[in-house]
């Protein structure tokens, strides 16, 4: 009975999500027809943001692929990397308290209500532990997993129809790419796994004698599948050369160290970062 009820609930949520998707696309199309016509890249970006998690992730893919997409689209979708519309703080509080089983004031000395960053799957807030350690809290957006499953199933179905209608497209295996993206994004919803990866990456850096890079250590007492608390690093984007020069006498060497670390992880580590964003 429980599995039947769960199936019914998930089916209902999936149906509502499809209706929501069609509603967003319909509103944007109506606005265009009535004369509200921003540049196409901006219209597409705001549509993706309104559609939420899955489409924001696709927007991040566009932002990180200048060799595939036109420059104006790449620049516009840079906003999807860490500047998507933030969730109200009460959602963040509710998720943390539900996951960690205590009040925010008991768990942390301080949590900044203003997010450091907001992206497709999670939102990040600066905080302090009771012992005064600076940390950041990565909090998963509500219902993300169900949204991903519904959206990608919808996209997969659409891709299969497209491949059947245009057999030449099947060579590009669009549906296969969508399956891979779905599997990868569902893994990103497991913050316990991510915490394990942080620990494993620091071990990898030590084992390879790499003293030029470090990953933040997770705080496991304040971490669950949907909430990840980790050591806070203070820094600047590698893409902002003028700011970077204030922190190092050798910005080029810093960039080279970052690239060497990534390539060594690609060759020698059990896993590597396959979704590298600018900065």
Contact (CB, 8 A) for 237 and 279: yes
35 dihedral zone (left: phi>0; alpha: psi -120 to 50; beta): left
pLDDT tier for residue 13 given thresholds of 50, 70 and 90 = low
Strands 227-231 vs 134-140: parallel, antiparallel or unpaired = antiparallel
Q: Residue 3 has what pLDDT?
A: 56
Contact (CB, 8 A) for 272 and 265: yes
Contact (CB, 8 A) for 115 and 125: yes
Q: Which of 40, 88, 80 minimizes the C-alpha distance to 64?
A: 80
- CA 31-33-38 angle, to 5 degrees, is 60
Q: Residue 11 has what pLDDT?
A: 56
φ and ψ of 110, to 5 deg: -160, 140
Interhelix angle for 191-207 vs 251-268, to 10°?
110
Domain boundaries, the chain: 2-82, 89-143+188-236, 144-186, 237-279
* Distance between CA atoms of residues 20 and 24, nearest Å: 6
pLDDT tier for residue 271 given thresholds of 50, 70 and 90 = confident
For the whole prediction, is pTM greater than 0.85?
no
Token pair belonging to 56: 């924001």
Quick check: 131 pLDDT over 90? yes
Does the domain at residues 89-143+188-236 carry the CATH identifier 2.60.40?
no
- Which segments of the chain are extended strands (E)? 108-111, 117-118, 122-129, 134-140, 227-231
Compute CA distances 132 → 112, 115, 129, whole Å. 14, 19, 5
Mean pLDDT computed over 246-273: 90
Lowest-confidence range among 92-101, 112-121, 203-212, 219-228?
Answer: 112-121
Q: Residue 215 has what pLDDT?
A: 95
pLDDT tier for residue 68 given thresholds of 50, 70 and 90 = confident
* Distance between CA atoms of residues 119 and 49, nearest Å: 10
Q: Residue 38 has what pLDDT?
A: 84
Neighbours of 180 (CB within 10 A): 12
Q: Which of 122, 188, 173, 183 minimizes the C-alpha distance to 152?
A: 183
Quick check: 4 pLDDT over 60? no
Q: What is the pLDDT of residues 152-211, one digit of tens each?
A: 887 887 777 777 776 665 555 567 777 777 888 888 899 999 999 999 999 999 999 999
More confident residue, 92 or 120: 92
Q: Residue 26 has what pLDDT?
A: 81
N-term to C-term CA, the chain: 49
* Distance between CA atoms of residues 258 and 277, nearest Å: 13
Quick check: 84 pLDDT over 70? yes
Token pair belonging to 60: 């991040």
Quick check: 114 pLDDT over 90? yes
More confident residue, 8 or 80: 80
Q: Residue 170 has what pLDDT?
A: 56
* Catalytic positions, written as ranges: 275
Q: Residue 273 has what pLDDT?
A: 78
Q: For the chain, what's the residue count?
A: 279
Contact (CB, 8 A) for 97 and 108: no
Q: What is the pLDDT of residues 14-45, one digit of tens each?
A: 667 677 777 877 887 778 777 778 888 888 88
């Amino acid at each position: 009975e429980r599995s039947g009820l769960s199936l019914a609930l998930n089916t209902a949520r999936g149906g509502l999500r499809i209706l929501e998707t069609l509603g967003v696309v319909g509103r944007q199309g109506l606005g265009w027809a009535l004369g509200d016509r921003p540049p196409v890249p901006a219209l597409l970006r705001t549509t993706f943001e309104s559609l939420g998690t899955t489409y924001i992730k696709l927007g991040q893919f566009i932002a990180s692929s200048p060799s595939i997409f036109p420059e104006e689209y790449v620049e516009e979708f840079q906003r999807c990397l860490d500047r998507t519309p933030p969730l109200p703080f009460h959602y963040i509080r509710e998720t943390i308290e539900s996951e960690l089983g205590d009040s925010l004031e008991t768990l942390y000395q301080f949590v900044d209500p203003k997010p450091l960053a907001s992206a497709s799957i999670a939102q990040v807030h600066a905080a302090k532990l009771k012992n005064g350690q600076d940390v950041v809290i990565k909090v998963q957006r509500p219902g993300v997993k169900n949204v991903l499953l519904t959206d990608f199933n919808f996209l997969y179905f659409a891709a299969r129809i497209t491949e059947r209608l245009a057999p030449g497209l099947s060579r590009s295996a669009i549906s296969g790419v969508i399956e891979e993206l779905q599997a990868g994004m569902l893994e990103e919803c497991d913050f316990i796994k991510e915490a394990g990866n942080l620990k494993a990456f620091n071990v990898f850096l030590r084992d390879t004698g790499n003293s030029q890079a470090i990953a933040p250590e997770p705080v496991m007492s304040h971490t669950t599948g949907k909430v990840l608390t980790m050591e806070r690093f203070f820094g600047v984007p590698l893409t902002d050369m003028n700011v970077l020069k204030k922190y190092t006498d050798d910005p080029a060497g810093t960039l080279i160290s970052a690239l060497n670390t990534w390539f060594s992880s690609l060759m020698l580590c059990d896993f590597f970062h396959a979704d590298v964003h600018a900065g």
